[in-house]
Structure formats: C-alpha cells, structure tokens
Structure 1
C-alpha cells in the first residue's frame, strides 16, 4: 500500500482559521525533544481494527517507517472488524512472545480479558484511537490521538459559523469510545446554537458504510426533507459513500463536514470540489505514527510516556488551494526530532 501524497497536507497550520495546529510558519516542533535512546531488536504487532479505514492504514505506514529506523520487526494484522479475529491475534502475539502490541483503532474496552493476559505476559500495549482520550489508561502505556472533543468542536463550529439555519444529521459508530466522545461534543455545539437544529444521530458501522449509506440517505431525506442541510460524521469514510445517494435523492444542497481523520480520499475530493464534502478536521497521522514508535521506545526503556498530544487542523478547499503543490508536512520535522532523541542527540532531559 502506497502513502498518498495528499495526506501530507495534514500537518498544515492555518493561523487565520483560528484552530489548533502543531507547527508555526517556520515549522517549530512542539513535540518531545528528550527521551531515551533507541531500544533495538524489538518485535511489535500492529493490530488494526480494519485496514479499510484510511486513518488506520496511514498511521500504520508511518509507524512502520519509524520502526525501521529503530531496528524493530513489525507484524501487521488486519482484524477486519471481527472481534473473534482480533481476539485470536492477541493469542498469536502472546504465543510468538511479541515485545509490544499496538491497538490500531481496536477498542481497549472490547477484548479486556485478552488485554489482561497480554499484560501478564509482559507485553507492552500502546493504542491509536483505542480509547477516547490521549495518554495512558485501560491497560495502555499510552493512547495516541488528538483530543476527539476538540476535533468534533472544530467540525461542528464550521457548520454554526457558515450556515444560517442548519439542520444537522450526525453519522457515527457507537461501538467506539472516540466516536461517542465526538458525537457528544458535536451535539453540545449544535444544541447551543439557537439557529441550529440537531435532526438525529444516525448509527452506521464503519465496516457497513458501503452497504448501508444509500438506504440511510433515502430514509433520512424522506423523514427530514429540506430541513436536512448539513451532515457531520465521526470519520471521512461516511462521505466516501454519500455522494451518489445524495445526487440520486436530488440533494445537491447538503454540505458534509467530517470530524476526522483527514483521509487522502477526503482531502482529494475537497481539493477538487468534486463532492459535497466541504471540510475535514485532519489528524496528523504521519506524525502520530512516529509518536507511536516513540511511546513504545519509552516503555521499552522503562521511562514514562511523553505526554505529548498532537492537535487537529481544519482543512477546506480554500486552504488546499493556497497550498498549491507544496508538501507542508516537510515543515514539521517530527522525523528529525524523534531520530535525534533515539540517537541520543537531544538536549538536556
């Protein structure tokens, strides 16, 4: 799987938007600058909830690149959104005596018995979107994510700022802690807006979006009609599939805004203006892949997690038009920063 170049815009900081970012115009690094040297020779299992999720696939690629710098062996396992398969992957990791497991979107509250056995075996657990908040918890040494409430707030406030009387449908998957945190934040913003109406929260499993979105659009349009003006979603995957159903329903007027993850497909269609998705709140998934490696390296060295939390970025077509062909993530030197730490060249701790 190749990393699409359009993902590189995720680390963009646009001060005029008034939203958080993690680099200034000069590419200043806000992440960790001190930590233990690299701990080579480790075996790590990256257990993905579902590699069809673009965010999970992208963060895995970035992590694998960082792991090569550290001399680690990485085994990728696709859970295919199947809890039985995910439980079996834990058993296999214990059997092969892995040093660590990364939960790529796998919910830490799901396979709790397996997590307990992994910890008993001395295997380090680090998550990406494994719980709703960044940092340690639920048996994880660290969970790498932006603050989902902030991501959702930015997406919802885009609607309240740019629409006169929006009627909003929220698409979510309530199996995931992060999704539920995002929904609550979006709900709070929309309900606090006197001009706005929260029509419903539509629960559609991420793994079933392709099969269910056409029916969901038809049902929602029949129920709400012209009152439905905007869609919010906890992931870009919903808007990968919504465009043709909206066109078939004659609803070219509905605007779609995603509260994560800033997938390559979403950024491509926003840039081209070829769909009704007008914005996404992007996570710096490349940087987060390297952070996963750094958090694991700290665990292997017996030191605490970094405490670093990356910040989300609102991405719209005007923002992307202003970029041209520039690869803005090159201004954020996360790879260089982490390599300096791992090579023992950081400043005083």
Structure 2
C-alpha cells in the first residue's frame, strides 16, 4: 500500500506542476544540442531516504534511458565517508558524466580533481546554495533557495503572532542559505519571534527528534507555535513526540522539497504539517540530463531555474478533480529539443 500511496502523491505533484506549465508557456530552454547516445552516467545519491533525492533520480533515470544512456546509481545513506568511498568507485567506472545528488563537491575532496582530470562532466542537484554553474560544477540544479525560504516563512506569517523553531542541517550550503533567509525574514517581522535554530542532520532526524521535541517543549512551552524546516524529512518524525506532549496545536511548514510523504500528510489533513514548498523534481531530473548533454557537446549550461510551488491543503483539494492522465509538458519540450524538432 505504501508504494501506491507514494505513486499517488507523485502523480498529484506532477499534476500541480503540469497545471502551472499549462497556465504559462514553457519557460525552459528553447535551444539545445542533439542528444548524444550511448553515454554512461552515474548518480551518487547523498541519501535515498530523502524523498527529494528519490524523486529527482527517478525522473533523471527515465530521461537518460530514453536517450539510450546507461545509468548507474549508488546511495551514500547520509554518510560523508561513505559518499566519498562510493565516489571513488564511480571514478573507477570512468563514466562520461556524474550527478551529485544532494551533496556538495567538497564531499569529494581530492577526487574532484581526479574527475576533472579525466574530463568527466559533473552536474549537481541541490549541490550548492545557488542554481547554475559553479567553479566545481558544470551546473547545479535547484530552485532559488531564497525564494523557497520566502514562500515558507510568508505562509507562517499569515497566522499573526508566532514563535518559531527552525530545523536545519548545516552540512549543506543550500540548507544554511534557506535557514539564514527565514531567520532574517522572521527577525524583520514585528509579530514573529525566533525561538531556536536546531541543527539536526537530516540523516539523524529519525533518531534525534524525540529528545529535541521534549527539550524544546521544556524551554519554550506554549510560546512555540510554529516549526519551519529546510526539508520534509524532519516532519516524518515530529508528529508522534508532539502528540505525546499534547502539542497538536503546533503548525509545521517545510521549505523543501515536496516529498511524497509530505504531500500525503498535507492532503489528508490529519497531520500537523500544513504546507511544503515543493520543487518540480520531475522537471529537474530531465534538466540534469539536459545539462549533461550540453556538457558532452561542449556547449554552455542552460541557466534555466525551475520555479518552486507552495503546497497547502487548499491547493491539493483544488487539484482533486484534475485528470490522472498527466501532461508531462517538460518531457515533450526536452525531447523536441534533443531530437531537433521545431
């Protein structure tokens, strides 16, 4: 049943972004080199327990295989040492291109230079605090993290006087960028108070949440009205300890990434998570393939930045009557580019 709930949530997310694309014409790249065939690519996942990483990988894999590419994937399970070990194994495979799925090039250490020496194209998803090319990546695919943070914090501000706890993971530059932006916006708000910024690694959220919640309740009591987090994963684990303390009044809002679990929680109305800022993971997976294809052709990156979307119960309820037959506009747009169809 969990598999079908995940699929339904992914479909619902796809419908929402499809609706946006229909309402506004395709805003992605309009020119690209023809698709290269027979390429070998590797996807190094920071942690496949992260729904965002899973979602973007599935889309990446689909697009790459449609082009006849061979796809290899490994899972770092949130461990820095394991990620680097797996990267060394990937290097020995000598692929044409590599995706850093949810971690920064710094995790590679000296291996980064080895990838460059072998002229292996490197692109990233959430591999830095800004979208586009960097000094270590051909391109980093992400929505603007500051825009994501603004959407989340502005939704919380609608409730008037609020006391906010923020959960972040300082291992990641994109998480730090979101957190700093949310704190800045809250400190500028007369009716808002930042109670605490909790630095809890995403990979440890399941083990560390109970004690964090008990500690926060002891410190702040009823003053704690809202929780903001840089990823939905924190809210996979927060409801049980909150309910045990009788704190069903706290409203939880995530600044990323619109995981299947989060969409299901919000849609059901039975969870304290009331919103998430979703990124179009399907579109971003195809963009990863497009950027690699551009690198293979010695052409510059597209500079396309995908828009985020605030997902609330109202948005999901209004989407219930949409057809289950999804309109994958981004897939058609990219295929036409790669096939050089006008």
Partner of 1:6: 9
Q: Secondary structure at the match of 2:326?
A: helix
Stretches (4+) displaced over 4 A: 11-14
- The partner residue of 1:41 within 34, 38, 43 is 38
Aligned counterparts of 1:114 and 1:337: Cα–Cα separation in 2: 35
Relative contact order, higher structure (CA 8 A, sep 6+): 1
Is 1:318 aligned to residue 335 of structure 2? no
Distance of 2:15 and 2:189 partners within structure 1: 29
Tell me if 1:160 matches 2:163.
no
Distance apart, 1:172 and its partner CA: 0.5
Matches within 5 A, 1:1-349: 4-10=7-13, 23-26=20-23, 28-161=25-158, 163-326=159-322, 330-331=326-327, 333-346=329-342
CA separation in 1, counterparts of 2:15 and 2:193? 31
In structure 1, C-alpha distance between the alignment counterparts of 2:15 and 2:145, rounded to whole Å: 18
Distance (whole Å) between structure 2 residues aligned to residue 95 and residue 82 of structure 1: 20
Contact 1:233 1:257 in 2 (8 A): yes
Q: Write the distance in 1 (CA, Å) between the matches of 2:81 and 2:321.
A: 44
Which is further off, 105-114 or 245-254? 105-114
Q: Deviations over 1:260-296 (max 9, x none)?
A: 0000100001000111000000000011000000000
State the Cα deviation string for residues 68-101 of structure 1 (Å, max 9, x = none): 1111000010011122221122222221211111
Q: Alpha carbons of 1:230 and 1:12: their partners in 2 closer, same or farther (altered >3 Å)? A: farther
Query: What value does the CA root-mean-square deviation take over the aligned residues?
Result: 1.8
SS at match of 2:29: coil
Equivalent residues of 1:12, 1:313 under 8 A apart: no
CA contact (8 A) 2:15 2:326 kept: no
Provide, for residues 20-70 of structure 1, a one-character-per-residue CA deviation record: whole Å limited to 9, x for no partner. Answer: x99354452111121101001111010000100010011000000000111
Cα shift at 1:325: 4.8
